Copies of this chain bind each other. A is one copy, B any other.
Amino acid sequence: MSNISNVEKIATSAKKASRSLVSISTDLKNRALDSMARALIDRADEILAANAEDMKTAKEKGTSESLLDRLSLTEERVEGIATALKELIALPDPVGQITEGWKIPNGLLIKQVRVPLGVVGVIYEARPNVTVDATGLALKAGNAVVLRGGSLALKSNLSLASVIAKAAEEEGIPKGSIQSIPTADRESVNELMKMDKYLDLLVPRGGEGLIKLVIDNSSVPVLWAGAGNCHIYVHSDADFDMAEAITINAKVQRPSVCNAAETLLIHKDAAKESLPGIIEALEDKGVTIYGCPVTKKMRPEVSVASEDDWYTEYLDLKIAVKVVDSLEEAIDHINTYGSLHSESIITKDYKAARKFTNDVDAAAVYVNASTRFTDGGEFGMGAEIGISTQKLHARGPMGLNSLTSTKYVIEGDGQIR
């Protein structure tokens, strides 16, 4: 069998494990999650030792401080990862839920039942916590996982995966359900993307480059968490205090996340009275403004926005500001430059709210609220594997349901056509 690659061997055995995973109970999954969490704490020393090796190599390579921070594990961080696993225990098991059911005239009873997807592949970059977070979510939804982390975190990831896989197996989870590809060469990514015979889903977790690579090359279906170029649109009749509070919150409460606002659009009739105040409030919080010509005219000290700014997800204390002539122009701007993530209108007008929520093409469209609420936890779904900006299968926060499929179960008593 020397012509079968290591990646294919892993994928095949994960598929085999997934066949047994469809029958395990919620109780067993929950016990396994608990054991996995405890094992992380119990074996924190060896995990931290593996991470120290990764950190040493990364530093020698001159890795940036921000990347080192993402890579680094501490006792506290390991505890945080374990806690996140334990939180999955309380979430309802999606497997077995009957999503629809009806009887057809000949007496056949048709039920649509939620089932595991099978095998979920995860390709990720420097954050070692993804090893555990993704495994926990996939397992709770009844799936096997094949993990392929980034080269910088290779030793940390292998250590984490081996600790949780062992704990899960000892609890009775089928061997092969949690597997890591033990190399970080590019070829293993290429191979994994072609394993459509064994993998039911591939989730890229990382930057735009990784996501684009996977979308362009994977024959395995892909779910991804895309960029968030989110907008706040202040309509002509908005409550200006609310507009200011929401803009400030959406921009500065946590600028580095995908549901933070990146552009403020403001109706010309609202701009005169409210824009200077909003800009001052933003500047007070240390935000740099990139303004359209009208904004620049009103506040000559702001930087000038280029065409690129409208497309940019700053993930930083920066915001682009544009004065628009109409609701329609705001909607057009969002549908042209936005990334289909989270968009909010501030208005008192029923018709404007209705038009905005109908016409804006995005995963989450808000009226009079901050875009920062687009989040599995805030939505009440519990943990999420990311926020989908695609339109198939899952859109918006991807909770446990997004890691499941359905099947029809049809009960008869001899029906034929």
Contact = CB atoms under 8 A, between A and B. Distances in A.
B22 A369 contact: no
A407 B338 CA distance: 15
B393 A392 contact: yes
A108 to B, nearest CB: 6
Interface stretch (A162-170, A275-283, A298-306, A354-362): A354-362
A183 interface: no
A116 to B, nearest CB: 9
Given A216-B219, A221-B390, A104 B378 contact: yes
Given A378-B104, A390-B221, A369 B215 contact: no
A294 interface: no
Given A19-B359, A369-B108, A407 B416 contact: no
Nearest to A247: B416
Interface stretch (A35-43, A126-134, A238-246): A238-246
B118 A366 contact: no
Nearest to A220: B215
Nearest to A353: B411
Interface in A259-280: none
B361 A417 contact: no
A373 B242 contact: no
Contacts of A370: 415-417
Contact of A393 (B102, B393, B407, B417): B393
Contact of A379 (B22, B110, B201, B392): B110
Contact of A102 (B215, B380, B395): B380
A163 to B, nearest CB: 30
Interface size class of A (residues with CB under 8 A): 35 or more
Given A22-B361, A369-B412, 5 more contacts: A19-B359, A104-B379, A357-B409, A366-B410, A368-B414
A250 B417 CA distance: 8
Interface string A372-412: 11100011100000000011110110000000011111111
B412 A366 contact: yes
A367 B19 contact: no
A218 B349 CA distance: 43
Stoichiometry, copies per complex: 2
Contact of A335 (B19, B108, B372): B19
A125 interface: no
Contacts of A242: 414
A346 to B, nearest CB: 9
24 contacts: A19-B335, A22-B361, A23-B358, A23-B359, A110-B379, A117-B391, A201-B392, A221-B391, A221-B392, A239-B414, A253-B416, A353-B411, A357-B409, A364-B407, A368-B411, A368-B413, A368-B415, A369-B412, A378-B417, A379-B408, A395-B405, A395-B406, A395-B408, A396-B408
Given A104-B380, A215-B219, A335-B19, A364 B410 contact: yes
A365 interface: yes
Contacts of A22: 358-359, 361
Contacts of A219: 215-216
A68 B250 CA distance: 61
A288 interface: no
A375 to B, nearest CB: 9
B414 A369 contact: yes
A368 B408 contact: no
A13 interface: no
A93 interface: no
A409 B365 contact: yes
B367 A416 contact: no
A222 B364 CA distance: 23
